[in-house]
Amino acid sequence: MEFALILPILILLLVGILDTGRAVNAYVTISNASREGARYVALNPTAAPSAIKSNAVLPHTQQLDPGSVAVSVTYSGNVTSNACPVATTTAPPAASPPATIPVRVDVTYPWSAATFFIGQFFGGGSRTFCATSTVDTVR
């Protein structure tokens, strides 16, 4: 009798722990992918944004849906904002003589909770996780 009263609470707790773990995994994955994108830019300063996405970011997001991962690369002197932009990618500027150019790599991923209970903690069941990494490159 007591087990029948406790079982729904235990199942809700277990599913909540699993859902929260999925959220943390998604955020850590896109954060790592953003850092890898910035590292790729530092090693390959003339790389196109599409190369950064396909060679550096997407290989580090294998457990996520690759079609939902959005990557934005911004080459400019105004990369100090912490808010992730809406998938705007700028082309690398040509610099002669070589100059130090900050490059910002933003990775966003829409995540949705599997349970209603945990979804209420994440703004109604879904949230877009965003990670930003900035590196200075010499062109």
Report the alpha-carbon angle 89-94-98, nearest 5. 120
Cis status of the peptide bond prior to 97, with omega within 30 of 0: yes
pTM: 0.78
Domain ranges, ordered by start, for the chain = 2-138
Q: What is the pLDDT along the chain (139 residues), one digit of tens a residue?
A: 788 889 988 988 888 888 888 889 999 999 999 999 999 998 888 888 889 999 999 999 988 998 899 998 888 755 555 566 555 666 666 655 557 788 889 999 998 888 776 667 666 677 889 999 888 887 6
